[in-house]
Amino acid sequence: MKRFLPLLLTFFTLSALGQNQPPTMSNIQVGIAGTTITLTYDLAGAGGGPITVAFRAGEKGSIKLAYNTSNAAGDIGPGLSAGAGKQITWDFSAYPAAGFRLQLVASDGQAVDIQALVDQVDSARLKADLSFIEGVRHRNGNPVHLQETRDFIQNHFVEHHLETHLQEFDYSGYAAANIIGRQIGTESEDSVFILDGHFDTVNGAPGADDNGSAVAGFMEALRILAPYGFKKSIKYIGFDLEEAGPGLVGSKRYVDEMLVPEETTAGVLNFEMIGYYTEVPNTQVMPAGFNLLFPDVYQDLIADEFRGNFITDVSYNNSEPLADAFLGAAAQYVPGLKVVKIHTTTLLPDLLRSDHAWFWYSAIPALMITDGAEFRNPYYHSPQDKSEFLDFTFMRQVVQATVATLAGQAGIQHATTWWTDTDFFTPVKEVLPCEVSLSPNPSGDFIRISWGACANSELEYELIGLQGQTVTGKKVVNPGTPEAVLKVRDLPPGVYFLRVNSAERQWVRKVAVSH
Ligand SMILES: [Zn+2]
């Protein structure tokens, strides 16, 4: 009998891996009658075991789900089995009927296999995403690709069901925007971890490492983490205008406007170039004086003949526990990745050159995760900053360590979350699977715009110029209108953007006019 035991264990381990998906809810409908909200949903669980469904509510748009829902009844609480047509009712008469934020969490209480999660990070996806992102992304040098990249990030956030919005602001006539996507925590929604990177480039550089690698990296981390629940919230942020004078413009804007008293930023992981790697000796240089400030790190570099073969984990003051968490996660789950931790108690200029800096100034724990920029990558800020010079195994390992760090810090759960903001009298709509398409494009006469399934919701569209200036003004499309015709005959030839908004999301498409 004894010899069978390992076989049985293997069998169970494999089936656990195969069934590592948390329970899911689908077909969720919200109805409101009198002072009762009724939620119906279908429940599925890969493991087949009992499922717990939690229901929370709060004021519409609030990040705290503070209402007491202990009077809710129906298919709620522990011991539920999978099946269709589950129902929860909640009498909300104790609260103002001004609109609610509602949240459901389905959990089966299993432990999440972090190693299995980490192993899903895919270098082929990183490469494919980076091949789209690569190219000058500068407000004057190539505003078209800058806008395409913003659109790419935003759509990725929406597709993974993040609460997504743009923090828009003007920068010398350029309509700048940070792209913010929020995965809502299941227990402490008001405590948030941030994973960010800037998406702009200097003029003339295709910015594969700086900082396309970061964008591909946080998009891949999101893909892996999105199917799970987290006790705390996670925000994914693409910062605009990191490279614009005086530098770090987008992240400063975020810290100035978005750090609100209701929300605690528990930690920030800022990707600043994560793709350049080499095993060649004497490829890593260090800023002047580094050997005096960090003698232990410097000795390690000497011992390894200054190979540029590590990721740097930079922390300041109260950021050190987060830096140690990253170091520990890498050691446990990504042993092939070499991490060099640099902890500073002094604000050294060379360590302040990316978007983490504004968080440090506000005493928020933040890390710069970096390959070392021009201290390693000879193509820094040049037309040669291309993906052909990057190492996608290294990039994958950095994303893997980040996934493991966030899973631990934000409290991953074998659970899925659904939420909505609902008005009192308006039934909730599911986000519609629709795409905006244009034909012909380019055109000299007219362009037909169609919106697929989105024709069922109210839409708004406008044509804007390269610098974001209005060309047509906003036009509203009533639900049920399958397409619109945009006359471009009288416009000067050139490139424009068509921006389409529904209640849930935005699309931007490039429009070429030629006569
Ligand atoms: Zn740069």
The rounded Å distance from CA 346 to ligand 1 centre is 22
- Domain membership flag for residue 451: yes
Whole-Å CA distances, 245 to 172, 194, 241, 250, 455: 11, 24, 8, 11, 42
The rounded Å distance from CA 210 to ligand 1 centre is 5
Residue with tokens 């990316």: 354
CB 366 within 8 A of CB 360: yes
Residue 357 has pLDDT above 70, yes or no: yes
The rounded Å distance from CA 172 to ligand 1 centre is 20
pLDDT category of residue 16 using cuts at 50, 70 and 90: very low
The rounded Å distance from CA 474 to ligand 1 centre is 36
78 versus 474: the higher-pLDDT residue is 78
Instruction: Please indicate, yes or no, whether residues 478 and 336 belong to a single structural domain of this protein.
Output: no
Residue 21 has pLDDT above 90, yes or no: no
- 437: which 2 tokens? 């398409």
- 431: which 2 tokens? 């986000």
Give me the pLDDT at residue 473, please: 82
* Rounded Cα–Cα distance for residues 201 and 495 (Å): 21
Whole-Å CA distances, 298 to 289, 291, 301, 344, 345: 10, 5, 5, 14, 17
- Domain membership flag for residue 281: no
* Rounded Cα–Cα distance for residues 506 and 22 (Å): 30
Give me the number of domains the chain comprises: 3
Instruction: Please indicate, yes or no, whether residues 52 and 162 belong to a single structural domain of this protein.
Output: no
Give me the pLDDT at residue 455, please: 67
Instruction: Please indicate, yes or no, whether residues 503 and 401 belong to a single structural domain of this protein.
Output: no
The rounded Å distance from CA 247 to ligand 1 centre is 9
Give me the pLDDT at residue 424, please: 63
Give me the pLDDT at residue 127, please: 97
**Residue 448, phi then psi, degrees to nearest 5:** -90, 125
The rounded Å distance from CA 218 to ligand 1 centre is 17
The rounded Å distance from CA 240 to ligand 1 centre is 12
41, 76, 110 — which closes off a domain? 110
Instruction: Please indicate, yes or no, whether residues 337 and 221 belong to a single structural domain of this protein.
Output: yes
The rounded Å distance from CA 242 to ligand 1 centre is 8
The rounded Å distance from CA 354 to ligand 1 centre is 8
The rounded Å distance from CA 353 to ligand 1 centre is 9
Residue 56 has pLDDT above 80, yes or no: yes
Residue 414 has pLDDT above 60, yes or no: yes
349 versus 502: the higher-pLDDT residue is 349
- Domain membership flag for residue 154: yes
The rounded Å distance from CA 290 to ligand 1 centre is 21
Would you give the DSSP letter of residue 227?
T
- Domain membership flag for residue 174: yes
The rounded Å distance from CA 261 to ligand 1 centre is 31
pLDDT category of residue 421 using cuts at 50, 70 and 90: confident
The rounded Å distance from CA 510 to ligand 1 centre is 26
The rounded Å distance from CA 209 to ligand 1 centre is 9
Instruction: Please indicate, yes or no, whether residues 210 and 68 belong to a single structural domain of this protein.
Output: no
The rounded Å distance from CA 229 to ligand 1 centre is 34
- 123: which 2 tokens? 């270098």
Q: What angle do CA 213, 217, 222 make, to 5 degrees?
A: 155
pLDDT digits (tens, 9 = 90+) for 172-216: 999 999 999 999 999 998 999 999 999 999 999 999 999 999 999
CATH of the domain at 259: 3.40.630.10
Give me the pLDDT at residue 425, please: 52
- 392: which 2 tokens? 């996608």
The rounded Å distance from CA 157 to ligand 1 centre is 24
Q: What is the domain extent for residue 68?
A: 4-110
> Strand, helix or coil at 457?
coil
* Rounded Cα–Cα distance for residues 337 and 497 (Å): 42
86, 110, 134 — which closes off a domain? 110
The rounded Å distance from CA 201 to ligand 1 centre is 6
The rounded Å distance from CA 149 to ligand 1 centre is 16
* Rounded Cα–Cα distance for residues 54 and 107 (Å): 8
Give me the pLDDT at residue 2, please: 32
110, 135, 168 — which closes off a domain? 110
Instruction: Please indicate, yes or no, whether residues 406 and 370 belong to a single structural domain of this protein.
Output: yes
Q: Chain-centre distance of CA 399, in angstroms?
A: 13
Whole-Å CA distances, 39 to 73, 91, 126, 367, 430: 11, 12, 38, 41, 13
Give me the pLDDT at residue 3, please: 35
- Domain membership flag for residue 85: yes
pLDDT category of residue 12 using cuts at 50, 70 and 90: very low
Terminal-to-terminal C-alpha distance of the chain: 82
What percentage of the chain has pLDDT greater than the value 90?
67
The rounded Å distance from CA 301 to ligand 1 centre is 24
- Domain membership flag for residue 138: yes
Rg of the Cα atoms in the chain: 25
The rounded Å distance from CA 292 to ligand 1 centre is 26
The rounded Å distance from CA 198 to ligand 1 centre is 9
CB 189 within 8 A of CB 64: yes
CB 444 within 8 A of CB 513: yes
Residue 6 has pLDDT above 80, yes or no: no
Residue 435 has pLDDT above 90, yes or no: no
Residues 502/503/507/508 CA torsion (nearest 10 deg): 90
- Domain membership flag for residue 290: no
pLDDT digits (tens, 9 = 90+) for 231-246: 999 999 999 999 998 8
CATH of the domain at 472: 2.60.40.3080
Please spell the DSSP secondary structure of 241-297, one letter per residue.
-SSSTTS-HHHHHHHHHH--TT-EEEEEEEEE-------STT-----TTHHHH-HHH
The rounded Å distance from CA 296 to ligand 1 centre is 28
The rounded Å distance from CA 202 to ligand 1 centre is 6
The rounded Å distance from CA 237 to ligand 1 centre is 17
* Rounded Cα–Cα distance for residues 189 and 445 (Å): 50
Give me the pLDDT at residue 213, please: 98
The rounded Å distance from CA 377 to ligand 1 centre is 11
pLDDT digits (tens, 9 = 90+) for 446-496: 888 888 777 667 788 888 887 677 888 888 888 777 788 888 888 999 888
CATH of the domain at 91: 2.60.40
The rounded Å distance from CA 244 to ligand 1 centre is 9
The rounded Å distance from CA 243 to ligand 1 centre is 6
Instruction: Please indicate, yes or no, whether residues 100 and 215 belong to a single structural domain of this protein.
Output: no
- Domain membership flag for residue 116: no
Instruction: Please indicate, yes or no, whether residues 193 and 325 belong to a single structural domain of this protein.
Output: yes
The rounded Å distance from CA 11 to ligand 1 centre is 49
312 versus 350: the higher-pLDDT residue is 312
**Residue 43, phi then psi, degrees to nearest 5:** -120, 130
CB 355 within 8 A of CB 195: no
Instruction: Please indicate, yes or no, whether residues 493 and 384 belong to a single structural domain of this protein.
Output: no
What percentage of the chain has pLDDT greater than the value 70?
92
Give me the pLDDT at residue 433, please: 57
* Rounded Cα–Cα distance for residues 347 and 344 (Å): 7
131 versus 499: the higher-pLDDT residue is 131
Instruction: Please indicate, yes or no, whether residues 158 and 182 belong to a single structural domain of this protein.
Output: yes
Instruction: Please indicate, yes or no, whether residues 327 and 201 belong to a single structural domain of this protein.
Output: yes
Residues 272/275/276/277 CA torsion (nearest 10 deg): 120
Q: Quick one: which of 40, 43, 19, 20 has its CA closest to 31?
A: 40
The rounded Å distance from CA 419 to ligand 1 centre is 37
pLDDT digits (tens, 9 = 90+) for 126-146: 999 999 999 999 999 999 999
pLDDT digits (tens, 9 = 90+) for 436-451: 888 888 888 888 888 8
Give me the pLDDT at residue 246, please: 86
